[in-house]
């Protein structure tokens, strides 16, 4: 085209496109849900803007917030159109080719090792999946602030942008035309498209219409006498015309006759049920529906079920509905840039209208692994995001969400038969459901345990609730995970403190001289081997009125022993001499120990000093 401007794709984007084009990935279906998800995002954006400026939507069809899918079988073109916000010329250049998103290289890297193309949407590069099925793609777009433009590319390293003077004006929004590859003919099949929308895009909150064909019976004038055979007339209803016909044929005159033929007509067919799942009664929503809803919300199409969910309505001063999910797996970058990046995985709606998924006021950082949605009736609609962010009700919403989230996690543990302490004594009936819940909490702990620890550090209000969720191994846990409640239930009579030791591995700790006497006296000691545990124990001082005692630190009391005093007395001279001898190396004190059994002596940390393990961590700065 004469007015086309040419651009090169940014290098990483180009590599990504090569990977997609040459991919042997068999599930090419995913492109459709990516396009529908983009259309839905664009509709969310214009609807949000229209809250403060009604004019922005325009009139007539333009104001219809919908998605349309159309097929051109002859030309092998599949089009997806939305009346969303659209893209200006600059948007087209930036969003579709020249500015690589942070996820681009991460995704390319992933695809080179063991990546699953299915995850493309999570990396923010879903658009390019169109090249799984098309070899030439046109994006026609009209934004309120600009003219209508066409972006086009054959994925050969370059794309072109032209002012659009030949297509029908869109009014507003975007139409994506996929010129399907030879082997992608199946996407010209209406029933295939209907299936895909049902499967992947059921929970899109805008109507999705397909320009669907329909066979209808129509009466047409018969060309000659032969065509007016009996079969035909029996099909057609006895209309007035028919009566006319027979009258005239009695006269034996030549007259017009009719016959019924099948004709294909087209009409818009609605493919999804737009009723939002979170507005429904939780009792009427099936597990399968929640799972599918999670997949579309989290853009996680791994087919795995979420570990747990919580769907509730909050009433009172602040009213809202929410659905929270614990994903089946933690993303690999969950703790990357934990303290500096703003990440929130909750979508905020106000009275059914999507507002933002970048609100970090809804959940504390340590719960960022949850996915979900909040729909508030209390928050005002017609204010900016910044003003909403300041709104008082957000604090209440946050508080309730944390409670519900922690309840949901606690329930995973409660329902897990592996977690039950008196399991061996009970005749537990095995049901299918129980099988499914078995080992779920260990799975949760392995994926998200660190988040619980970060929560104990950060959230003083919920520290005790979070501590209940803590799991660890101990000198007596036999390689399994155990909890503080279980530890307490096994405490020896007269034992006041909860004993723990920190280090880099359980194997190393098991050999520690600090444990000798405790083991001999049959005390249980917790192993804390994660670097974050040192920080954790600076915040977790007590649990259920029991103090925590690091067994490598000063202050360990193992019950009174009458010999202790005598021993202390008889070694007085030695300890005194020793203390002066070591004074220049900053030893605080030298004492007769009651914690050793075979080892002659040990260096103990003072009560408020860093443990040896903490020194090690600070030196390597592992957190
Ligand atoms: P993501 O949707 O995660 O941002 P995509 O690769 O799917 O990543 O889309 C890239 C960008 O292109 C979007 O962020 C958006 O700015 C723009 N875009 C894609 N499709 C549309 C559309 N239908 N309407 C408006 N903008 C769109
Ligand atoms: Mg997308």
Q: With a cut of 70, say whether residue 239 has pLDDT above it.
A: no
87 lines ligand 1 (CB under 6 A): yes
Q: Could you read off the pLDDT of 492-543 as tens digits, one per residue?
A: 988 999 999 999 899 989 988 888 888 888 999 999 999 899 999 999 999 9
84 lines ligand 1 (CB under 6 A): yes
**Ligand lying nearest the CA atom of residue 127:** 1
Q: How far is the CA of 129 from the centre of ligand 2 (A)?
A: 10
Q: How far is the CA of 127 from the centre of ligand 1 (A)?
A: 6
Question: Which chain residues have CB less than 5 Å from ligand 2, an ion?
Answer: 38, 126
- Find tokens 């001279």 and name the residue: 573
Question: Could you tell me what percentage of the chain is helix, strand and coil, using 3-state DSSP and rounding each to the nearest 5?
Answer: 40, 20, 40
Which residues are documented as binding site? 34, 38, 82, 87, 95, 101-103, 122-127, 174, 385
- pLDDT for res 402: 97
Ramachandran quadrant class, 457 (left: phi over 0; alpha: psi -120 to 50; beta: rest): alpha
Q: How confident is the model at residue 430 (pLDDT cuts 50, 70, 90)?
A: low
Q: How far is the CA of 42 from the centre of ligand 2 (A)?
A: 10
Average pLDDT, the chain: 87
State the Cα angle at 491 between 555 and 554, rounded to 5°.
10
Pairing mode of beta strands 208-222, 67-72: parallel
Q: How confident is the model at residue 604 (pLDDT cuts 50, 70, 90)?
A: confident
- Find tokens 């030879």 and name the residue: 182
- pLDDT for res 450: 95
Alpha carbon distances (Å) from 195 to 29, 135, 200: 10, 23, 9
User: Which of 33, 84, 95 to mutate to test ligand 1, by most ligand atoms within 8 A of the CB atom?
Assistant: 95
42 lines ligand 1 (CB under 6 A): yes
Lowest-confidence region among 20-24, 193-197, 329-333, 564-568: 564-568
Q: How far is the CA of 144 from the centre of ligand 2 (A)?
A: 21
Atom of ligand 1 nearest to the CA of 91: 16
CA distance 615 to 552: 13
Q: Could you read off the pLDDT of 477-504 as tens digits, one per residue?
A: 988 999 999 999 999 988 999 999 999 8
CA distance 441 to 415: 9
Which residues are documented as binding site for ATP? 34, 38, 82, 87, 95, 101-103, 122-127, 174, 385
Q: Could you read off the pLDDT of 440-483 as tens digits, one per residue?
A: 999 999 999 999 999 999 999 999 999 999 999 999 998 899 99
534 lines ligand 1 (CB under 6 A): no
% of the chain with per-residue pLDDT over 70: 90
126 lines ligand 1 (CB under 6 A): yes
Higher per-residue pLDDT: 527 or 228: 527
Q: How confident is the model at residue 247 (pLDDT cuts 50, 70, 90)?
A: very low
Section 180-198 average pLDDT: 95
Q: How far is the CA of 208 from the centre of ligand 1 (A)?
A: 18
User: Which of 10, 37, 38, 104 to mutate to test ligand 1, by most ligand atoms within 8 A of the CB atom?
Assistant: 38
Atom of ligand 1 nearest to the CA of 84: 24
Q: What is the 3-state secondary structure (H, E, C) of 61-107?
A: HHHCCCEEEEEECCCCEEEEEECCCCCCHHHHHHHHHHCCCHHHHHH
Residue 134, strand partner residues: 180
Beta-carbon contacts of 227 under 8 Å, excluding residues fewer than 6 positions away, are 257, 259
% of the chain with per-residue pLDDT over 90: 57
Beta-carbon contacts of 345 under 8 Å, excluding residues fewer than 6 positions away, are 298, 357, 368, 369, 370, 371, 372
Atom of ligand 1 nearest to the CA of 82: 23
Q: With a cut of 80, say whether residue 556 has pLDDT above it.
A: no
Q: At what angle do helices 30-52 and 190-200 cross, to 10 degrees?
A: 60
DSSP letter for each residue of 466-517:
HHHT--BEETTSTTS-B-HHHHHHTPPTT--SEEEEE-S-HHHHHT-GGGHH
Look at ligand 1, atom 27, and give the residue with the nearest C-alpha: 38
Q: How far is the CA of 210 from the centre of ligand 2 (A)?
A: 20
- pLDDT for res 432: 60
ipTM: 0.99
Sheet holding 353-356, edge to edge: 308-314, 320-326, 371-376, 346-350, 353-356
Contact between 32 and 200 under an 8 Å Cβ cutoff? The reply is yes
Q: How far is the CA of 115 from the centre of ligand 1 (A)?
A: 22
96 lines ligand 1 (CB under 6 A): yes
Look at ligand 1, atom 12, and give the residue with the nearest C-alpha: 95
Q: How far is the CA of 40 from the centre of ligand 1 (A)?
A: 10
Pairing mode of beta strands 353-356, 346-350: antiparallel
Q: How far is the CA of 209 from the centre of ligand 1 (A)?
A: 20
- pLDDT for res 433: 64
Q: How far is the CA of 383 from the centre of ligand 2 (A)?
A: 26
Section 294-302 average pLDDT: 84
- pLDDT for res 437: 87
Q: With a cut of 80, say whether residue 14 has pLDDT above it.
A: yes
3-state secondary structure of 177: strand
- pLDDT for res 117: 87
Contact between 322 and 372 under an 8 Å Cβ cutoff? The reply is yes
Look at ligand 1, atom 19, and give the residue with the nearest C-alpha: 38
DSSP state of 553: B
CA distance 65 to 172: 11
- pLDDT for res 2: 78
Pairing mode of beta strands 257-270, 148-153: unpaired
Q: Could you read off the pLDDT of 337-353 as tens digits, one per residue?
A: 787 776 678 999 988 88
Q: With a cut of 90, say whether residue 568 has pLDDT above it.
A: no
User: Which of 90, 127, 137, 298 to mutate to test ligand 1, by most ligand atoms within 8 A of the CB atom?
Assistant: 127
- pLDDT for res 562: 62
Q: How far is the CA of 245 from the centre of ligand 2 (A)?
A: 60
Instruction: State if pTM tops 0.80.
Output: no
Q: Which two tokens stand for residue 588?
A: 């605080």
Q: Could you read off the pLDDT of 203-225 as tens digits, one per residue?
A: 888 999 999 999 999 988 887 65
- pLDDT for res 245: 47
**Ligand lying nearest the CA atom of residue 206:** 1
CA distance 485 to 488: 5
Q: How confident is the model at residue 135 (pLDDT cuts 50, 70, 90)?
A: very high
CA distance 133 to 129: 8
Section 3-20 average pLDDT: 94
Pairing mode of beta strands 134-142, 148-153: antiparallel
DSSP letter for each residue of 381-443:
SSS-HHHHHT-THHHHHHHHHHHHHHHHHHHHHHH-GGG-TTGGGS-PPP-HHHHHHTTHHHH
Q: Which two tokens stand for residue 603?
A: 């260096």
Q: Could you read off the pLDDT of 67-122 as tens digits, one per residue?
A: 999 999 999 999 999 999 999 999 999 999 999 888 899 899 888 876 788 888 88
Beta-carbon contacts of 420 under 8 Å, excluding residues fewer than 6 positions away, are 426, 428
DSSP state of 619: H
Contact between 170 and 133 under an 8 Å Cβ cutoff? The reply is no
Q: With a cut of 60, say whether residue 422 has pLDDT above it.
A: no
CA distance 65 to 169: 17
Q: With a cut of 70, say whether residue 359 has pLDDT above it.
A: yes
Q: With a cut of 70, say whether residue 304 has pLDDT above it.
A: yes
User: Which of 41, 129, 139 to mutate to test ligand 1, by most ligand atoms within 8 A of the CB atom?
Assistant: 41
Look at ligand 1, atom 17, and give the residue with the nearest C-alpha: 95
In 125-231, DSSP assigns E strands to 134-142, 148-153, 158-163, 173-180, 208-222
- pLDDT for res 398: 94
3-state secondary structure of 327: coil
Q: How confident is the model at residue 323 (pLDDT cuts 50, 70, 90)?
A: very high
Look at ligand 1, atom 20, and give the residue with the nearest C-alpha: 38
Q: How confident is the model at residue 238 (pLDDT cuts 50, 70, 90)?
A: very low
CA distance 247 to 6: 71
Using a 10 angstrom Cβ sphere, with 0-12 exposed, 13-18 middle and 19 or more buried, the burial of residue 588 is middle
39 lines ligand 1 (CB under 6 A): yes
Alpha carbon distances (Å) from 435 to 107, 144, 255, 327: 35, 55, 77, 19
- pLDDT for res 176: 98
For 83, phi then psi, to 5°, come to -105, 45
- Find tokens 């259920």 and name the residue: 544
Q: With a cut of 90, say whether residue 278 has pLDDT above it.
A: yes
222 lines ligand 1 (CB under 6 A): no
Which residue, among 483, 436, 137, has the nearest Cα to 308 in the 3D structure? 436
Q: Which two tokens stand for residue 446?
A: 């392995």
Beta-carbon contacts of 177 under 8 Å, excluding residues fewer than 6 positions away, are 77, 78, 79, 137, 138, 139, 140
Contact between 470 and 460 under an 8 Å Cβ cutoff? The reply is no
127 lines ligand 1 (CB under 6 A): yes
């Amino acid at each position: 085209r004469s007015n086309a401007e040419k651009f090169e794709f940014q290098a990483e984007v180009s590599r990504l496109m090569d990977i997609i084009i040459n991919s042997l990935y068999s599930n090419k279906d995913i492109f459709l849900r990516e396009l529908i998800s983009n259309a839905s995002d664009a509709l969310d954006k214009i609807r949000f803007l229209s809250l403060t400026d009604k004019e922005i939507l325009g009139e007539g069809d333009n104001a219809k917030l919908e998605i349309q899918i159309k097929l051109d079988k002859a030309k092998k073109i599949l089009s997806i159109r939305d009346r969303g916000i659209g893209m200006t010329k600059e948007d087209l250049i930036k969003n579709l080719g020249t500015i690589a998103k942070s996820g681009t290289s991460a995704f390319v890297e992933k695809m080179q090792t063991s990546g699953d193309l299915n995850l493309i949407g999570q990396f923010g590069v879903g658009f390019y999946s169109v090249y799984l099925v098309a070899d030439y793609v046109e994006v026609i777009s009209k934004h309120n602030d600009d003219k209508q433009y066409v972006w086009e590319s054959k994925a050969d390293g370059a794309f072109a942008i032209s002012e659009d003077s030949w297509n029908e004006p869109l009014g507003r929004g975007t139409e994506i035309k996929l010129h399907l590859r030879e082997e992608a003919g199946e996407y010209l099949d209406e029933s295939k498209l209907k299936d895909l929308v049902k499967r992947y895009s059921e929970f899109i909150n805008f109507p999705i219409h397909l320009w669907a064909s329909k066979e209808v019976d129509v009466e047409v004038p018969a060309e000659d006498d032969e065509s007016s055979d009996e079969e035909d007339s029996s099909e057609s209803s006895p209309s007035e015309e028919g009566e006319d016909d027979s009258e005239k044929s009695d006269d034996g005159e030549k007259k017009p006759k009719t016959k019924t033929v099948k004709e294909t007509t087209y009409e818009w067919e609605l493919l999804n049920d737009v009723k939002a799942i979170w507005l429904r009664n939780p009792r009427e929503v099936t597990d399968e529906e929640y799972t599918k809803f999670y997949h579309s919300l989290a853009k996680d199409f791994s087919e795995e079920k979420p570990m747990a969910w919580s769907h509730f309505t909050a009433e009172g001063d602040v009213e809202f509905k929410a659905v929270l999910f614990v994903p089946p797996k933690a993303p690999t970058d969950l703790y990357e840039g934990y303290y500096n990046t703003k990440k929130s995985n909750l979508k905020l709606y106000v009275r059914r209208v999507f507002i933002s998924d970048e609100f970090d006021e809804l959940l504390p950082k340590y719960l960022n692994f949850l996915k979900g949605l909040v729909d508030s009736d209390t928050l005002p609609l017609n204010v900016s995001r910044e003003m909403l962010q300041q709104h008082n009700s957000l604090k209440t919403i946050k508080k309730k969400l944390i409670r519900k989230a922690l309840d949901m996690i606690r329930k995973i543990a409660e329902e897990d038969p592996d977690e039950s302490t008196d399991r061996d004594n009970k005749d537990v009936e095995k049901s299918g459901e129980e099988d499914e819940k078995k080992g779920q909490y260990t799975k949760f702990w392995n994926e998200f345990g660190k988040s619980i620890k970060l929560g104990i550090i950060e959230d003083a209000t919920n520290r005790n609730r979070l501590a209940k969720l803590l799991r660890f191994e101990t000198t007596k846990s036999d390689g399994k995970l155990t909890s503080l409640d279980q530890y307490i239930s096994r405490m020896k009579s007269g034992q006041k403190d909860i004993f723990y030791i920190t280090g880099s591995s359980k194997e190393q700790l098991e050999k520690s001289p600090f444990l000798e006497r405790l083991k001999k006296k049959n005390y249980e000691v917790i192993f804390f081997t994660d670097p974050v545990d040192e920080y954790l124990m600076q915040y977790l001082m007590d649990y259920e009125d029991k103090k925590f005692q690091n067994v490598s630190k000063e202050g360990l009391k193992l019950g009174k022993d009458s010999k202790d005093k005598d021993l202390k007395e008889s070694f007085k001279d030695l300890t005194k001499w020793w203390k002066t001898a070591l004074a220049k190396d900053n030893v605080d004190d030298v004492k007769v120990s009651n914690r050793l059994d075979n080892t002659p002596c040990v260096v103990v940390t003072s009560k408020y000093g860093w443990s040896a393990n903490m020194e090690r961590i600070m030196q390597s700065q592992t957190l």
